[in-house]
A and B are shown apart, each in its own frame.
Chain A
């Protein structure tokens, strides 16, 4: 093992710092959580703590006096950095306005840019996404671009100034896992900004796979918030992300066609 690998493994193994650094900010966890789908604020808080997340998304919606408790306050109280999103926006115009409102309300210039094409697939609209990324970067935002698993588009977004690119594993909320691992690997191999696998994660092994493919972090919500036991699932993801990160650093064995004995043939007892 080379020194570089040893260093990587030590970092991933927790003997040194293995922070995720985005826009110069160090995050102690590579699991970014979403908050959609949780039945109660208390339960959500417990799941977030169990997951160990240091960065969590919120949506911006009309203020309602019927709303009990403040999600923003909950995140502030737990020292979790907030990442507002532009969920529900279909056009660059709406996304930019929503991002401006979020920056004003939450006092952060980080934004998870989500510009979707339609409600059935919730897939990103590439044209609007590119337009919105350009506008937001020009306005000083740090754009976390939620994108299709398209290596060409991912590189475009990075070149426009995105702080992180976030390809989907599969459509939002489907839990289908990573449908095109090859594309994710290709995106990772060419990116010089952090790559965050976002959307489609169903269970812990999906998150581990994302990290093994070389992603810098994983973003998920539904897999935890709608699990039968969100707190236990949150903790499972904490370990999965760490395990996948360590495995990626450790270097897996090559796949082979035929068996390879791990016990030596020489020196066997002979029975006549």
Chain B
């Protein structure tokens, strides 16, 4: 199925979870609680259709075809 990730079309396997998406994009292995498995800070957040999804719910939250997902992190600013 297809979603929009950070404004561009992105293909994910059917019934993929947010956890799978974050892991795929960042290349980090995630624990079930949404923290990085290597113990270092992950530093990213996800909004699904303009709603923030807490990392503790990433693995239990499924993506749906046509979802609009924003994946953000800290950059230089201010």
Contact = CB atoms under 8 A, between A and B. Distances in A.
Interface of A: 34-38, 44, 57-63, 65, 67, 70-73, 76, 82-85, 87, 97, 100-107, 112, 114, 219, 221
A62 B52 contact: no
Contacts, number: 104
Contact of B72 (A60, A76, A85, A87): A60
A36 B77 CA distance: 4
A97 B50 contact: yes
Interface string B25-55: 1110000000000001111111100101011
Given A60-B45, A61-B72, A73-B40, 18 more contacts: A35-B77, A36-B76, A58-B76, A61-B75, A62-B6, A63-B6, A63-B73, A65-B25, A70-B43, A87-B77, A97-B47, A101-B47, A101-B72, A103-B45, A105-B45, A106-B43, A112-B78, A221-B78
A61 B73 contact: yes
Given A73-B43, A105-B44, A60 B78 contact: no
Residue of A38, A105, A107 most packed against chain B (CB within 10 A) = A105
Contacts of B40: 73
Contacts of A85: 77-78
Contact of A104 (B6, B25, B26, B55): B55
Contacts of B71: 62-63
A59 B74 contact: yes
Interface in B48-71: 50, 52, 54-55, 70-71
A206 to B, nearest CB: 18
A105 B54 contact: no
**How big is the B interface, by class?**
20 to 34
B7 interface: yes
B72 A72 contact: no
A63 B25 contact: yes
B52 A72 contact: no
A136 to B, nearest CB: 13
Contacts of B52: 97, 100-101, 104
A102 B77 contact: no
A192 B50 CA distance: 36
Contacts of B41: 72-73, 76, 107
A174 to B, nearest CB: 15
A62 B72 contact: yes
A9 to B, nearest CB: 32
A105 B77 contact: no
Given A44-B76, A57-B78, A63 B47 contact: no
B43 A35 contact: no
A82 B72 contact: no
Interface in B1-39: 6-7, 25-27
B76 A71 contact: yes
15 contacts: A35-B77, A59-B74, A60-B73, A61-B73, A62-B72, A62-B73, A63-B25, A63-B73, A72-B73, A72-B74, A101-B70, A103-B45, A104-B45, A104-B46, A105-B43
B76 A37 contact: yes
